[in-house]
Amino acid sequence: MAEADGDNEVDVLILGAGSGGYACALRAAQLGLSVALVEQGKLGGTCLHVGCIPTKALLHAAEVADSTREAETFGVLAKYDGIDAAAVRNYADGVVNRLFKGLTGLIKSRGIRVVEGRGTLTGPKQVTVEGADGTTVLTGRNVVLATGSEPRLLPDIEPDGTHVLTSDDALRLDRVPRSAVVLGGGVIGCEFASVWRSFGAEVTIVEALPRLVPPEDAASSAALERAFRKRGITARTGTSVTGVATSEEGVVVTLSDDSELRADVLLVAVGRGPRTAGLGYEEHGITLDRGFVTVDDHCRTGVDGVWAVGDIVPGLQLAHRGFQQGIFVAEQIAGLAPQPIDERGIPRVTYSRPEVASVGLTEEQAKEEYGDDGVTALTYDLGGNGKSQILRTQGFVKLVRQVEGPVVGVHMVGERVGELIGEAQLVYGWEAHADDVAPLVHAHPTQNEALGEAFLALAGKPLHAHS
């Protein structure tokens, strides 16, 4: 085994090069620290290779398919001839490869050492890497754990990559299924259901909880379910899967009400679990809770000088959360004093058709915190928004605020509303009151105006509300 030496000792040793790991590496190098980044797969991790980027490329292809089908309604003569699954995958791969090449060049230009191989914590400040070129032992004055997540599986449902799929499998499919059952009505399940429906598949979502996208505001869930129903996507909420049988023809899914669903494929989309098993964490003092690394609000573990970021930390498993945590940890290591991240202020987007976007508290959460009489909510329908009419999308902007106080939650449903979440996050983060936002000028015609109109109404000046 190679021994650690001066060349293998760095200020910041990062295990995992996904969104949290590479962001931490880049910021630490920017701040003059020496950095080593350990990665078994490719730089960019889940988000770049099997998560955010390829799925959103598929969703854009799905949008193009829908636009082509509906072209005549806009006076455009176009013919929809179907989906070339291999070409769609090549398009998505092209996007991923260009971003990967850019990230690789950026990491190299910052002087960050990348060590390829499986890294394991072999001491509180030591990582041993088993790679193609042998064994390397690295030590860090600070160690950042950023090993990410993997598709969560259920007992007795074994993915086979052909008929029973994980989200990773679904991205690599070389065909469009004629029919699909999606187990899980969260973000991943709804996005794949939306893609496959746009590609022409018959889709049924099975969700054990009472509604789709359960963490979102109840009004957003209801609007998404209505939109999906209009699109022909069936949602079986409050229902669980009790059995799965596969054959050459496909899959038979038995539900808790004893009914059966037959389809080409079953997608198991019940979330992602932390990738922490077998990496030496607990053996070297790191506390795990159901596989997640326990940290304080500064991303510190219970071991001095060992930090954790991203999907292995309890909370929202979102790339931009891990990215921000990585920067936050790098700045602390460098001796700066950044403000802890407000988990409630992290924007959330489901990129289905329609999109669901939110930041802050749901109406129910706000009432739990401030009391039923301490909260008011206002909903502005996108039917009054010119750009939404042009796009032929339906939905709303819902604002939740403390009575005589700041807005504590913004919830939106409609095509492209994910692009509006930036302003919503600023409103929440700056604890803005309706009167603070109402005077701001929003360009016309944009969907962004819907936020402006909603705040006008919340400030008592509803220009387009029906009397």
Query: CB-based burial of residue 297 (10 Å sphere; 0-12 exposed, 13-18 middle, 19+ buried)?
Result: exposed
Q: Is 188 annotated as a binding residue?
A: yes
CA distance 53 to 55: 6
Which residue do the tokens 């987007």 mark? Answer: 349
For residues 269, 270, 271, 276, the Cα torsion angle rounded to the nearest 10 degrees is -110
Do the annotations mark residue 187 as ligand-binding? yes
**Residue 211 CA, distance from chain mean position:** 19
The answer to whether the CB of 12 falls within 8 A of the CB of 28 is yes
449 is in an annotated binding site: no
Residues 396/413, Cβ–Cβ less than 8 Å = yes
Is 207 among the annotated ligand-binding positions?
yes
User: In this predicted model, what pLDDT tens digit does every residue of 233-266 receive, in sequence order?
Assistant: 999 999 999 999 999 999 999 999 999 999 999 9
- How confident is the model at residue 465, as a pLDDT? 57
Is residue 297 marked as binding? no
In the chain, what are the domains? Answer: 9-149+274-334 (3.50.50.60), 164-270 (3.50.50.60), 354-459 (3.30.390.30)
> How far is CA 223 from its chain centroid?
20
What pLDDT was estimated at residue 466? 46
CB 216 within 8 A of CB 348: yes
| Contact indicator for 268, 184 with CB cutoff of 8 Å | yes
Task: Find out whether 186 is annotated in a ligand binding site.
Answer: yes
Nearest to 39 by CA among 19, 15, 22: 15
Which of 10-19, 152-161, 216-225 is predicted least confidently?
152-161
Query: In the structure, what pLDDT confidence band is assigned to residue 8 with cuts at 50, 70 and 90?
Result: confident
Q: Is 184 annotated as a binding residue?
A: yes
- Reported as a single tens digit per residue, the pLDDT across 393-417 is 999 999 999 999 999 999 999 999 9
CA dist., res. 460 & res. 457, Å (int)? 5
* Closest CA relative to residue 145, chosen from 165, 126, 168, 117: 126
pLDDT at 467: 37
Query: How far, in Å, CA of 347 to CA of 345, rounded?
Result: 6
274 exposure class (CB count in 10 Å sphere: 0-12, 13-18, 19+): buried
**40-51 pLDDT per residue, tens:** 999 999 999 999
Task: Answer yes or no: is pLDDT of 2 > 70.
Answer: no
pLDDT at 206 over 60: yes
Torsion angle of alpha carbons 56, 291, 244, 170, nearest 10°?
20
Instruction: Report how far residue 222's alpha carbon sits from residue 228's, in angstroms, rounded to the nearest whole number.
Output: 10
CA atoms within 13 A on the CB side of 372: 0
Q: Would you say 368 and 400 are in contact if contact means Cβ atoms under 8 Å apart?
A: no
Write out the chain in H/E/C secondary structure.
Answer: CCCCCHHHEEEEEEECCCHHHHHHHHHHHHCCCCEEEEECCCCCHHHHHHCHHHHHHHHHHHHHHHHHHCHHHHCCCCCCCCCCHHHHHHHHHHHHHHHHHHHHHHHHHCCCEEEECEEEEEECCEEEEEECCEEEEEEEEEEEECCCEEECCECCECCCCCCEECHHHHHCCCCCCCEEEEECCCHHHHHHHHHHHHCCCEEEEEECCCCCCCCCCHHHHHHHHHHHHHHCCEEEECCCEEEEEEECCEEEEEECCCCEEEECEEEECCCEEECCCCCCCHHHCCCEECCEECCCCCCECCCCCEEECHHHCCCCCCHHHHHHHHHHHHHHHCCCCCCCCCHHHCCEEECCCCEEEEEECCHHHHHHHHCHHHEEEEEEEHHHCHHHHHHCCCCEEEEEEECCCCEEEEEEEECCHHHHHHHHHHHHHCCCCHHHHCCCCCCCCCCHHHHHHHHHHHCCCCCCCCC
Task: Please tell me whether 42 is known to bind a ligand.
Answer: no
pLDDT score, position 263: 98
327 is in an annotated binding site: no
Question: Is 331 labelled a binding residue?
Answer: no
Determine if residue 415 is labeled as part of a ligand binding site.
no
pLDDT band with cut points at 50, 70 and 90 for residue 423: very high
Q: Which residues are paired to 64 by β-bridges?
A: none
Cα distance between the two ends of the chain: 78
The DSSP bridge partners found for residue 182 are: 205, 267
The phi, psi pair for 229, rounded to 5°, reads -60, -40
pTM confidence score: 0.95
pLDDT at 266: 98
Residues 6+ apart with CB under 8 A from 272: 46, 149, 150, 151, 152, 188, 311, 317
Minimal CA–CA distance to 429: which of 408, 413, 399? 408
pLDDT digits (tens, 9 = 90+) for 296-342: 999 999 999 999 999 999 999 999 999 999 999 999 999 999 999 99
pLDDT-derived band at 178 (thresholds 50, 70, 90) equals very high
Output the average pLDDT for the chain: 95
Residue 6 has what pLDDT?
A: 56
Confidence label for 381 from pLDDT (cuts 50, 70 and 90): very high
Would you say 16 is a known binding-site residue? no
311 is in an annotated binding site: yes
Is 119 annotated to bind a ligand? Reply is: yes
> What residues act catalytically?
444
